[in-house]
Amino acid sequence: MGCFDSCLRCLSLVPWASLIAAVLCWAGTALFCGTAHEAVSNSYILLNSTDFYWNETSTDTIIQNFKYSIYGIAAFMFVLSILLFVDGILSTRVVKSDYEEGCKTSCCGLCIGIFYTMLVYICGVGWLLITCFAAFPIHFFIVANSQCKANTCIDFRQTGILPAHLPDDIGRICGDDLTKFCSTPTV
């Protein structure tokens, strides 16, 4: 029974809420990154499926930058969740009383707690901005889908993909190009 008791004691020290939160953070980050990577790849295929004027080098660069930023977000969120999980473990009263008996909270510990709190708030605002930015392609696909069903021209200048100062012949899909664009599997 000695091994069983020590395992139970060890499991009682685990902050289960922090562990579940870390796993949910990893799952959400993986879901976001997987779907964002797929959306960027499908957008690239969609934009290059027509005979529409695109500057391919700038499109390739933008797509690559989006993919690299997705990888950066995944790495940052993984490291942040590990740091917050470790902070959750060290700030649990059972662990504090077991390992730091007699020690008082130091100024450095308070500053790290405040720093983590501010970092989590900044990340929350960042995730709100990323969510708003990620809603733009969804809006574009809804507009494109509705215009394909109505068989009306799609003007990329109205969606903000292209600048508004371009001439009328650049930035619109009509006629045969519209039929080809609307027949792609992604639309």
Cα 44 to chain center, whole Å? 18
- Tens of pLDDT, residue by residue over 134-173, are 777 777 777 778 888 888 887 777 766 677 777 777 777 7
* Residue in the structure block whose two tokens are 């969804």: 138
30 has a pLDDT exceeding 80: yes
68 has a pLDDT exceeding 80: yes
How far is Cα 38 from Cα 186, in angstroms, rounded to an integer?
11
DSSP string, 60-100: HHHHHHHHHHHHHHHHHHHHHHHHHHHHHHHTSHHHHHHHS
76 has a pLDDT exceeding 80: yes
How far is Cα 54 from Cα 68, in angstroms, rounded to an integer?
21
**Res 69: pLDDT:** 87
Mean pLDDT of 11-30: 82
Q: pTM value?
A: 0.63
- Tens of pLDDT, residue by residue over 115-144, are 888 888 898 898 888 888 777 777 777 777
Residue ranges of domains in the chain: 17-182
- Tens of pLDDT, residue by residue over 77-99, are 888 888 888 877 776 655 555 55
